[in-house]
Structure 1
Amino acid sequence: MWKKAICLSAVLDIMLLGVSCAPPQQAPPQVEQKMRVPLYGMFETFVENTRVYHNPFSETELRARFTSPSGRGVNYFGFYDGGNTWRQRFMPDEPGTWLYNLSFSDGAPGAMGVFECVAAGAKPGPWKPDPENPRWLLSADGNRFAPVAVFADCYLTPLDWKDAIQWCKEKGFNTLVTPTFNTRFWAEEWDNLTAFALQPGELKRIVDYDRYNLQMWGQWDDMIRTAGLAGIYIGAFEGPCGKYGGQENGKYPPNELVFSPAMRDRFDTERNKRIIRYLIARQGAFWNLAYWSLGNTEVFRHCVADEREFIEYGEYFASAAPFGRLLTAQDCEQVHGENRRWLSGLNIPASRKLNTVQTAAGNYDNPEWTKAGPNNQLALDAWGRPPQYGGFPVLSTEGLWEGQGRAKKPLRVIWGFLAAGAHAVWADWNYENADNTFGSIGRCWSPVKPLEKHLFRTSDLGANCSGDEELPIALEHLKTYQYWKMKPHNELVAGGAEAYCLAEPGSQYMIYAPEGGTVKLDLNSAPGPFTARWLDPRQGTYTEPERFEGGAARSFAAPGNEDWVLSVTPAK
């Protein structure tokens, strides 16, 4: 039963003590070859525990202590995975020999061992802010990363998430924003697709929050793993905040999207802290989990009672989650003039904070958000005024949702944010029924239909939309600059047509003109020479470049009276 643990322990003993149990003058006994794990890849092992538990999810916990090649210690924990099996996962971030010690909280036998972290086959690792200019992102390996992201609720069946991943591959998207576990939805004709096991008995949709639905947790593992094999990040959009099941403010009909009992606890009940640790243990070692989320939409309203609970929740989660992964909570850092700076209040490193926001909060059809100005200003406000507050990467996870009024002009959202040094996530929100009562984020499911009749198809997603084509064009254009050196500088384009400017003054300028016209660019302190050309953000095509000298204000006439992007870069 303990053969694997004994073999690994023998390897550890030989390495640490330099002794052998072999008789003198004889070859040492053979031991298991040391496991090789790529940098930022996943190490995984298991321990068999034959003790009898009434509830193995709550009566013991597998705890881990990893020691890096440089001697740094990392505490983590494993998870129960059915039968007598507990699993331990880990994402090594340092090449060389790692040691680990696994122990159960109730004293059941654990295991010890070693593995080798190697550079061959290294994974990019999760996102992190660029320390030189935190508006922009890097992967953990230090390479620059610009998210081309789609939001799709595709996590309820493998049919849907496989389609979503394939769609991303075909369309050039490198990030799929979706929940990574289900704590809210259960519709008519569905089986149990929640994170929680059913309570005993014949009643349907009554769950046990102390036990977990291992089949679904395994499917969410498969979703993240499959995306990683395709080189696609998963951006989490759900959080274990203690508010699960039941109705969402009466939003849905009585028999739609409901399971019971409704839980409305604080995050820090012992039961909910187990849920938090279980999520982190299962999913935290996947290299392509881009960031953690403390909740879904409007975390400040739906997931916590007040700022104090938010701070305590975020700091607890960060303390439990290793690897320094980014943490976000949508709309908790400056949204729509409310001066909410809750992310800034978290006592965790700034390098772990990601600011996710939405546009048009409370009125998704507000026509103001079809203008570039409000989108640009929201992104600027969300960035804040570091070091006083803010200074974290900004990602609009809700805003560029076609099918809603706020995204009727996708270019205004895409470029309004990008010119402020921020990113937008595209989604297809087109209603699936004539009276517009059920929108499907990504057309991936509809609560009025059983899941086997899911509506998510690569031919459907993006039908009658343009943002799914325009967002990749924008990010490809961004890569034509040394964009990581650029910051918002709207003051450089005052006095001409409406325009928004991202620049490294004196060197490179990206100017978005939402209604074309003649743009005036202040180049008084930039002698040049420069090259200017216009990008058509609908087609991804450019006008012929024009060479000119700087040292003065220059005017540039757009080719038309619709959205255009002016690129001014050093002449070659």
Structure 2
Amino acid sequence: MKPVRALISFVLLPLLSAALSAQHPAAAVSQWDTVTLSFPGPDLSETAEVNPFADVRLQVTFTHADASYTIPGFYAADGNAAESGADTGNVWQVRFTPDHTGPWTWSAAMHIGPDAVLLPADFPHLKAHHLDHNSGAFEVTPSSATGRDFRAHGRLSVDPATGYFHFASTGRTWIKAGADSPENFLGYRDFDDTYRHSETFREGENRPNASLHTYAPHLADWREGDPTWHGDKGKSIIGALNYLAGTGMNAVYFLTLNIDGDGKDVWPYRTHTDRDRFDCSRLDQWEIVFQHMERLGLAMHVVTQETENERLLDGGFTGRERRLYYRELIARFGHHLGLIWNLGEENGPANFSPHGQTTEQQKAMADYLAATDPYGHPIIIHTHSTSSGKDEVTAPLLGHPTLDGLSFQVDEPTRVHGELLDWRQRARAAGHPWLITMDEIGQWHTGAVPDADDPTHDSLRYQALWGSLMAGASGVEWYFGARYAHNDLSAEDWRSRDNLWRQTRHALDFFTHLPVARMEPADNLTPRSDDYVLAYPGFTYAIYLPDATAEPRLDLGRDGVSYSIHWFNPRAGGNLQSGPLTTVSATGEVTLGAAPADPDQDWVVLVRRR
């Protein structure tokens, strides 16, 4: 049993969420803030004979005139486990983010019985547990959040008509950009009871550090007022997130289960051998980090397993173990606004991992997540790196209604643009358009190398970054290869790729000039075979040029409409620039003039209807 630390008043959580006790339910909260309801239930422990994670079912229904959500609850030990380290107590909690202003009501019910959380409330053998306060109300006022904070924008969703992420409440398109590494981001020294369960690793692949992550280089990035736990724990991981958000990135990819995988240091359970007993204090500490990510505008790209352990739970099926795992993740973290569920890294059989999940097992995971997550967060799946691997494993998933898209992996950067165009078209032809995010560039031993090894990242910028975004990708994340410092398991300092983040931010900045949800890849509109084109025909065109040694040409049609011409520097960013030619009329295939400078370098041309 974990030691139960002295209870310490934690002043930060009330700042991060509106904590409403069931005894005092009336309160005013802001739209998109987290409402936390706490309920007294049976006095149990993480190891009690009555399993508090499986045998006690709390659900709360939140109702507004225009919406209703039924939210699963979770066992919270003493209700302050992040600070106390408690593994015993009688507190159950529900976390909810209201999406409408005005009055809300709620009603709660608790039932007890074997595997009650997986059964409907009216199941014959479940016993209702009396709650002294099982209903209440609160008022939601408009959010005062600003800037990158997700509370200023709402819940991230998928626009199936365009293949992009967007904020459902505003319709604003959102393009993902961030860190794919370290995948074992949560294998962090300051989380309670976190350890590496084995030092056996596959020959020739990424190796973790000798100890857990410390993120020591980012300790100086922690700021006064930022969250901690147990005194001053957590400062370096919070500082790392501060740095990454400061570069303009907006997402972090991380595993929540790598038992028997590469890092062997991340799981939600008490120990690596448990499958239905969770660690309350560690998960509450994860929540502190996730709350900070939300305020920074960093989306949680939650990768729920990896290729080595995709059959760890229920032999790959969605049985009791997997359903308990997914339900716990949803109950504890599903309230977050910027959250993307990833069914698994390199999911499905491969020559290096032949005993992968089947197509039916993949579909069952997606179906269960979609049915259990009350918020409808995006659900994607990570692909294999080769074309043949995608054809064999991913193609059978085309058209499946609960799968929103692909977390794309490509082993050769030169193939990124073409493969993305291909899979985007395949999904549309199957009748269920997918969003596709470029999340792992190969090869596995190289990926995105440190600035010290490739200061300019010219090829990566051309082939992977702009090659994917100009093919209609809904985002890019950077994987760190095994043979370089700060790799996919050992990365401690995100500053090792500072210039890569900067160039990625430049791409995001340029895309703010585009009506991207209306644009389509249209490489056929230029005579060059090595450039990329996005077009909203008759209105907006963007052309990425690997060089401007020859003046670019573009087919604008023949309606005589006048267009403005601007140039953007993808290496240095900044404002749009003008070249010698600033306007052009639509008279067929027209010349767009010379670049403002450095014609031997890459440029982006923006052509807009005047």
Shift of 1:217: 1.0
The gaps in structure 1 that reach 5 residues or longer are 10-31, 199-205, 246-261, 361-365, 447-454
C-alpha distance in structure 2 between counterparts of 1:45 and 1:535, whole Å:
50
Deviation track 1:373-425 (CA, whole Å, cap 9, x = no partner) reads x2111111221242534412211111284129998722121111111121442
- Residues 77-86 or 169-178, more deviating: 169-178
Equivalent of 1:268 in 318, 324, 338: 318
Q: Which residue of 2 aligns with 1:24?
A: none
Q: Which residue of 2 aligns with 1:391?
A: 433
Aligned pair 1:292/2:306, yes or no?
Answer: no
Shift of 1:485: 1.8
Residue 517 of structure 2: SS of its match in structure 1?
helix
Shift of 1:456: 1.8
The gaps in structure 2 that reach 5 residues or longer are 1-18, 78-88, 113-127, 146-150, 189-233
Amino acid at match of 1:505: P
Q: Which residue of 1 aligns with 2:566?
A: 533
Aligned pair 1:170/2:170, yes or no?
Answer: no
Shift of 1:227: 0.9
Shift of 1:266: 2.6
Give the root-mean-square deviation of aligned CA atoms: 3.5
Equivalent of 1:480 in 501, 504, 513: 513
CA contact (8 A) 1:244 1:263 kept: yes
Residue 138 of structure 2: SS of its match in structure 1?
strand
Aligned pair 1:63/2:58, yes or no?
Answer: yes
Equivalent of 2:136 in 102, 105, 113: 113
Aligned pair 1:310/2:352, yes or no?
Answer: no
Q: Which residue of 2 aligns with 1:196?
A: 269
Aligned residues: 486
Q: Which residue of 2 aligns with 1:161?
A: 237
Shift of 1:300: 6.0
Shift of 1:95: 2.6
Deviation track 1:476-509 (CA, whole Å, cap 9, x = no partner) reads 111122222211111111x235221101111111
CA contact (8 A) 2:30 2:141 kept: yes
Amino acid at match of 1:402: A
CA contact (8 A) 1:239 1:294 kept: yes
Cα 1:141–1:554 shift into 2, 3 Å: closer
Identity of aligned residues (%): 18
C-alpha distance in structure 2 between counterparts of 1:7 and 1:395, whole Å:
40
Residue 329 of structure 1: SS of its match in structure 2?
strand
Deviation track 1:499-534 (CA, whole Å, cap 9, x = no partner) reads 211011111111112244433211124523112233
Q: Which residue of 2 aligns with 1:28?
A: none
Q: Which residue of 1 aligns with 2:83?
A: none
Q: Which residue of 1 aligns with 2:459?
A: 409
Q: Which residue of 2 aligns with 1:88?
A: 94
Cα 1:131–1:437 shift into 2, 3 Å: closer
Shift of 1:48: 1.4
Compute the TM-score of the two structures, normalised by the length of structure 2: 0.71
Aligned pair 1:379/2:408, yes or no?
Answer: no
CA contact (8 A) 2:160 2:435 kept: no
Q: Which residue of 2 aligns with 1:127?
A: 156
C-alpha distance in structure 2 between counterparts of 1:461 and 1:439, whole Å:
7
Q: Which residue of 2 aligns with 1:549?
A: 585
Q: Work out which structure has the larger RCO, using CA pairs closer than 8 Å and 6 or more positions apart in sequence.
A: 2
Aligned pair 1:567/2:606, yes or no?
Answer: yes
C-alpha distance in structure 2 between counterparts of 1:135 and 1:229, whole Å:
22
Shift of 1:439: 6.1
Shift of 1:241: 10
Residue pairs, 1:20-59, within 5 angstroms: 32=24, 34-51=26-43, 53-59=48-54
CA contact (8 A) 1:529 1:570 kept: yes
Aligned pair 1:344/2:344, yes or no?
Answer: no
Residue pairs, 1:196-235, within 5 angstroms: 196-198=269-271, 207-235=273-301
Residue 197 of structure 1: SS of its match in structure 2?
coil
Amino acid at match of 1:235: H
C-alpha distance in structure 2 between counterparts of 1:195 and 1:6, whole Å:
26
CA contact (8 A) 1:41 1:287 kept: no
Cα 1:160–1:355 shift into 2, 3 Å: farther
Deviation track 1:350-392 (CA, whole Å, cap 9, x = no partner) reads xx713211111xxxxx4xx2x3xx2111111221242534412
CA contact (8 A) 2:386 2:410 kept: no
